[in-house]
């Protein structure tokens, strides 16, 4: 019989009854050792402890004692109150980092997870059966392959923005990360230009089959594809979201960590969100998700000679010059003039609009002068009384 106030499990009861059977001569020492799953020498020790302490002899010496490193109930309640009111939408690892950074409270991860589960705010890891896919090895050199995509999400309450990111396949470093109102050609070209001005021209860029990147719906009609061709960048189109899994996992991490950080700081303006993202969040938190490249070599290339980035990063349109040396665009008329006073009648010229909307007109590599032609207003005839 178990003593009053002593918690005894079924296994403990079996161990105790087996030792009693041995002491009464019903089983041998080897049979007892087999039941206890112990060596013969250890079995002698258990028998001696049971003779001396009775049922307590089958327990470990620390049975019923609180661990020396057990957290106090006061600390537990304090942390749970903080999590419930402030960090309720953070994951457990993120909470652990913020408690250490903001309050200098160092809590073990599994202890914190247990406390969060008790108050019902722990995020459960998504577990899904997925089609097995082989892991693609990273490329060795920085600048060899970049992955680019946009994440449409409600990043702040009531506002859906697009987070356009470009990461290096070799290291998962974020070379560009900005919020935009839409995944537009201008937004994507702005990101690519920022990288080229800072590092150089990459060799390959990995994107999905969206039309703006030159996918099947707009093949050979994409401005992004044209810009990459002029710079010598090869575009690789992913056949599935899993194909560009590194940037997809990047967005999952941002949705998990960045949204509560923006809420905590009461940031609802896109400009302030971009400032916080690039000057605070990425420098402090993204380093733990990057890796060292397999090679110290880099594949960034200089911009090809003779290419002006302002001209390359533009929206290109073509127009035919009228006999009066004018062109038409969106109900407007513009007169064009060649510096060498060459007649442009019936020639096709290029209209390029840079990322800020400024227009330049080109013919055979020469920039033309232009001016807007104001159409005369027609005078309506008044009715006769």
Strands (E), the chain: 145-156, 159-168, 174-180, 204-207, 234-237, 314-320, 326-329, 332-337, 348-354, 359-363, 366-373
Give Cβ neighbours of residue 303 (< 8 Å, ≥ 6 apart): 196, 200, 201, 231, 309
Residue for token digits 């002068």? 369
Tell me what pLDDT residue 220 has. 57
Q: Where do the structural domains in the chain lie, given as residue ranges? A: 10-58, 73-118, 145-289, 313-373
Topology, domain 145-289: Nucleotidyltransferase; domain 5 (3.30.420)
- Tell me the two tokens of residue 83: 């999590």
* Better pLDDT: 243 or 95: 95
Residue 142 carries which DSSP code? B
Look at residue 269 and tell me whether its pLDDT is greater than 70.
Answer: yes
Q: How far apart are CA 213 and CA 235, in angstroms?
A: 9
Give Cβ neighbours of residue 168 (< 8 Å, ≥ 6 apart): 142, 143, 145, 146, 175
Backbone angles phi, psi at 380, to 5 degrees: -75, 135
- Tell me the two tokens of residue 350: 């290029």
How many other CB atoms are found less than 10 A from the CB of residue 374?
A: 8
Percent residues over pLDDT 70 in the chain = 89
- Confidence band of 258 (pLDDT split at 50, 70, 90): very high
Tell me what pLDDT residue 118 has. 87
pLDDT tens-digit readout, 101-129: 888 888 888 888 888 888 888 776 666 55
- Confidence band of 218 (pLDDT split at 50, 70, 90): low
- Confidence band of 2 (pLDDT split at 50, 70, 90): very low
Tell me what pLDDT residue 213 has. 80
149-171 average pLDDT score: 93
Give me the helix-helix angle, 92-103 and 109-118, nearest 10°: 110
């Amino acid at each position: 019989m178990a003593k009053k106030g002593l918690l005894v499990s079924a296994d403990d009861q079996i161990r105790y009854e087996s030792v009693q059977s041995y002491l009464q001569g019903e089983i041998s020492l080897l049979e007892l050792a087999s039941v206890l799953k112990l060596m013969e020498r250890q079995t002698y020790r258990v028998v001696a402890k049971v003779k001396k302490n009775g049922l307590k002899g089958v327990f470990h010496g620390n049975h019923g004692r609180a661990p020396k490193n057990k957290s106090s109930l006061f600390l537990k309640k304090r942390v749970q109150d903080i999590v419930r009111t402030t960090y309720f939408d953070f994951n457990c690892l993120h909470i652990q980092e913020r408690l250490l950074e903001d309050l200098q409270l160092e809590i073990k991860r599994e202890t914190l997870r247990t406390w969060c589960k008790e108050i019902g705010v722990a995020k459960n890891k998504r577990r899904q059966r997925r089609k097995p896919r082989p892991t693609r090895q990273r490329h060795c050199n920085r600048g060899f392959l970049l992955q680019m995509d946009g994440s449409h999400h409600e990043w702040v309450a009531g506002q859906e923005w697009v987070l356009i990111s470009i990461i290096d396949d070799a290291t998962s470093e974020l070379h560009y990360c900005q919020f935009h109102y839409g995944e537009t050609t201008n937004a994507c070209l702005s990101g690519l230009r920022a990288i080229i001005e800072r590092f150089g021209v990459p060799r390959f860029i990995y994107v999905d089959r969206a039309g703006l990147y030159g996918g099947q719906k707009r093949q050979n009609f994409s401005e992004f594809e044209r810009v990459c061709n002029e710079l010598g960048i090869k575009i690789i189109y992913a056949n599935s979201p899993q194909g560009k899994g590194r940037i997809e996992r990047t967005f999952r991490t941002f949705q998990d960590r960045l949204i509560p950080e923006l809420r905590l700081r009461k940031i609802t303006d896109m400009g302030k969100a971009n400032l916080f993202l690039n000057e605070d969040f990425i420098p402090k938190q993204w380093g733990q998700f990057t890796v060292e490249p397999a090679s110290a070599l880099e594949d960034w290339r200089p911009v090809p000679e003779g290419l002006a980035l302002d001209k390359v990063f533009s929206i290109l349109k073509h127009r035919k010059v009228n006999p009066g040396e004018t062109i038409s665009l969106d109900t407007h008329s513009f007169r064009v003039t060649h510096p060498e006073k060459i007649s442009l009648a019936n020639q096709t010229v290029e209209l390029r609009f840079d990322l800020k909307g400024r227009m330049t007109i080109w013919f055979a590599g020469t920039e033309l002068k232009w001016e807007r032609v104001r159409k005369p207003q027609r005078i309506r005839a008044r009715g006769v009384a």
